[in-house]
Amino acid sequence: MGRAWKFGNDIDTDAIIPGRFLTIYDPKELASHAFEGTRREFSKEAKDGDVIVAGRNFGCGSSREHAPLALKGAGIEFVVAKSFARIFYRNAINTGVLPLVCPDTDKIADGAEVFVNLKEAYIEADKKTYPLEPIPVFMMRIVEAGGLVEYAKMRGNK
């Protein structure tokens, strides 16, 4: 169980982690600047088990992988949104923050008590459940391997 951090549409990667922090690579340190300009309390209050719940096109903009890393450093394991920007979606999968598509995020309130059941593909929010769309088969292979780094290790050295 964690709390829902509710965001709107078109949350860009500059909002998630501003450009002036891109020389940092440590997830914890990045997390201390997450949403610094737009949602200052996030970096102080987010904790393990919390879930980001957003509208359309989450993670648009820059390809900076610092964005999912900052969320990971803040303890976020799942981002549940109506849709994702393409590069963020891949980056999130690769870094172990799972992007999950849910058409019903409007029904989930900020601060709701939430829980993601990945196996049965639903998110529970304030005791109501909403279905999650399945992760595409190819992406699931990477998820199951434990991320792209592990997937690459399995493939071995050339």
Closest to another protein by CB, 117 or 146: 146
CB of 63 to another protein, least distance (A): 4
What is residue 156's DSSP assignment? -
Look up tokens 């981002």; give the residue. 79
CB of 114 to another protein, least distance (A): 24
Closest to another protein by CB, 53 or 57: 57
Q: In what order do the strands lie in the sheet with 113-117?
A: 98-101, 78-81, 51-54, 2-6, 113-117, 122-125, 128-131
Closest to another protein by CB, 15 or 31: 15
Phi-psi region of 117 (alpha: psi -120 to 50; beta: other; left: phi over 0): beta
CB of 47 to another protein, least distance (A): 24
CA distances from 48 to 51, 71, 72, 89, 138 (A): 9, 10, 9, 21, 28
Chain residues binding another protein by CB under 8 A are 10, 12, 14-15, 18-20, 22-25, 36-38, 56-57, 60-66, 83, 85-87, 90-91, 94-95, 136, 138, 147-149, 152-153, 155-158
Closest to another protein by CB, 118 or 148: 148
